[in-house]
Amino acid sequence: MSVAPATFYKRVEEAIGDQRLQGALDLAMARLQATRSASLKTFPDSDAVRDQARRIRAHTLSRLDHYLDEFTRNVEAKGGTVFYAHTAADAVRYVCDLARAKGVQSVVKSKSMVTEELELNGYLEATGATIVETDLGEWVVQLAHDHPSHIVAPIIHWTREDVAKLFKKEVGATDEDLVDVPQMTAFARRTLRRAFLQADMGISGVNFAIASTGSVTICTNEGNGRLTTTLPRIHVAMMGIERIVPTPEDLAIMLQMLGRSATGQKLTVYTNMLTGPRRQQEGEPDGPEELHVVMLDNGRSKLLGGELGEILYCIRCGACLNICPVYQEIGGHAYGSVYPGPVGAVLTPGLRGIADFHELPNASSLCGACREVCPVRIDIPRMLLKLREEATHDPQVVAKATPLWLRMGLRGYRWMALRPGLFRFAGRAGGVMMRLMARDGWIKKLPGPLGGWTQSRDFPAAPAKSFTQRWQEQHKGGQAKQQERSARS
């Protein structure tokens, strides 16, 4: 999970100025919000199911060690292998060593946030293997050397015309292949089919693991997920340690909320529960020869039981991104992390530390919309405030986030505030200067580094009288009237 080279504010400025991106976001966000809303209206007792989903997540994480042990035992009982990766390096090393040991030449991947977090593709390519993303959106960003910008819809920042140009340039699509979206999809299907048939290893994510059965559940809206997990001789399932539920009954609750919150569907088109590799002797002739489940910690366990632990309830539906007024304007890439939007603004600094990601908790209006749409009612605003507080106590953040002019200005303000006479004089002098700069009560352009404010909005000039002056005048007037009434009586 690397930090993007440009600063957060530079990425935001570029995103807001990108008219193509703004148009793509406007169309996609409106559609996703509308489908979710319509789906929930037809879902009886949706609030009760959300409450139940939250209870499941809270209970599971409170006993996570127990359920991970149970899941491991059941996977191994079915012939699979489980590897617990404490760090990103551990996970990468295991998968790359496995690929070398098994002579893997080609790898197909279905959508996986964990592999993006690990930047796994580059490490696997270093072993000599060819890696092909098979989710349509992920394939597009791979061809373009781009990155996903949304948890559910990786190319929400792309338009159909963008994709058509890319297909023509990178994979030789003809004008006939690009007539419309169905033709483009058919072209992608034909092109990717060869990769599935040639692959030695298939790598998938895990939406939910089931402790009581040792099954991994993969939810997709494309058939690539099942092809990735069954055709190659080796299946590697990459899961964050929090992505687990106790029983299939609990899974049923989570699936009801996932599809509706993510895309407005009652259920994702392909919901696959995979249990172990093929077992001829048990009458299970289909599937891969080997199943390896990599359970990734990478900072998650340190969040458990803490003030940010609730973020691990997340089921990766993306609803908080779709509703967030900040994400709607800046898109996913501005966050500089695999996990964008409100959930990423908590999860990324929670996993990787506040020092490199101290701007993200401030990328929020604290309107609470993310909490309202969350299918498991995660209180994201509370955790954003906690991270903002944490940033103010981190020496690295203070040094990075507070420029010299501001630090010196705050020291000067403190010095004057301790001297009431000087403070009042400075306030009056500053008010006069502001009123001279103003037009119709508003300053259009502030000087020096303060000009960042007026790049996008005007600044109100100070009033002729301060609050203290007005208070004193009214207080004196009130005392005079009281004395007059007392004299009359």
Sign of the CA dihedral 63, 303, 89, 120?
positive
Same-domain status, 290 and 412: no
The CB density around residue 77, as the number of other CB atoms within 10 Å, is 10
Q: Residue 398: is its pLDDT beyond 80?
A: no
Q: Are 267 and 259 in contact (CB under 8 A)?
A: yes
Each residue of 94-141: pLDDT tens digit? 999 999 999 999 999 999 999 999 999 999 999 999 999 999 999 999
Question: What length is written for the chain?
Answer: 489
Each residue of 277-332: pLDDT tens digit? 998 888 788 889 999 999 999 999 999 989 999 999 999 999 999 999 999 999 99
Same-domain status, 270 and 414: no
pTM score, whole prediction: 0.84
Which of residues 430 and 93 earns the better pLDDT score? 93
Each residue of 199-255: pLDDT tens digit? 999 999 999 999 999 999 999 999 899 999 999 999 999 999 999 999 999 999 999
Inside any domain, residue 435: yes
Q: What is the arrangement of strands in the sheet containing 201-205, beginning at the earlier edge strand? A: 81-85, 290-296, 234-240, 201-205, 106-109, 130-133
**DSSP letter assigned to residue 439:** B
φ, ψ (nearest 5 deg) of residue 238: -105, 120
**DSSP letter assigned to residue 458:** -
Q: What pLDDT is recorded for position 215? A: 97
Q: What pLDDT is recorded for position 59? A: 97
> 462 lies in which domain range?
404-488
| Greatest extent of the chain over all pairs of C-alpha atoms, in Å | 108
Q: What pLDDT is recorded for position 97? A: 97
Residue by residue, what is the 3-state secondary structure of 121-163? Answer: HHHHHHCCCEEEECCHHHHHHHHCCCCCCCCCCCCCCCCHHHH
CATH number at residue 47: 3.40.50.10420
Inside any domain, residue 11: no
Each residue of 413-453: pLDDT tens digit? 999 999 999 988 988 898 888 888 988 889 999 888 888 88
Q: Residue 406: is its pLDDT beyond 90?
A: no
Q: What pLDDT is recorded for position 289? A: 95
Q: Are 291 and 276 in contact (CB under 8 A)?
A: yes
Q: What pLDDT is recorded for position 1? A: 54
Inside any domain, residue 16: no
Phi-psi region of 95 (alpha: psi -120 to 50; beta: other; left: phi over 0): alpha
Q: Residue 5: is its pLDDT beyond 60?
A: no
Same-domain status, 80 and 209: yes
Same-domain status, 413 and 291: no
Average pLDDT over residues 334-345: 95
The CB density around residue 357, as the number of other CB atoms within 10 Å, is 25
Same-domain status, 435 and 289: no
**Coil, strand or helix: which one is 183?**
helix
- Which of 282, 298, 314 is the last residue before a domain boundary? 298
Nearest CA-CA partner of 50 in 377, 316, 318: 377
Separation CA 156–CA 29 (nearest Å)? 9
Inside any domain, residue 8: no
Each residue of 62-77: pLDDT tens digit? 999 999 999 999 999 9
Same-domain status, 288 and 415: no
Q: What pLDDT is recorded for position 477? A: 65
Same-domain status, 259 and 110: yes
Average pLDDT, the chain: 91
**Confidence tier at 489 by pLDDT (50, 70, 90):** low
Inside any domain, residue 366: no
Q: Give CA 195 to chain center in angstroms.
A: 29
Phi-psi region of 283 (alpha: psi -120 to 50; beta: other; left: phi over 0): left
- Which of 248, 283, 298 is the last residue before a domain boundary? 298
Which residues have a Cβ under 8 Å from the Cβ of 475 and sit 6 or more positions away? none
Same-domain status, 284 and 420: no
Nearest CA-CA partner of 247 in 205, 217, 281, 277: 217
Inside any domain, residue 23: no
Q: Are 307 and 384 in contact (CB under 8 A)?
A: no
The CB density around residue 379, as the number of other CB atoms within 10 Å, is 16
**Confidence tier at 403 by pLDDT (50, 70, 90):** confident
Based on its alpha-carbon atoms, the radius of gyration of the chain, rounded to whole angstroms, reads 28
Nearest CA-CA partner of 397 in 449, 361, 345, 354: 354
The tally of domains found in the chain comes to 2
Inside any domain, residue 60: yes
Average pLDDT over residues 358-383: 95
Q: What pLDDT is recorded for position 462? A: 87
- Which of 272, 298, 324 is the last residue before a domain boundary? 298
Separation CA 27–CA 29 (nearest Å)? 6
The CB density around residue 278, as the number of other CB atoms within 10 Å, is 16
Q: What pLDDT is recorded for position 428? A: 87
Same-domain status, 108 and 239: yes
Q: Residue 482: is its pLDDT beyond 70?
A: no
Inside any domain, residue 393: no
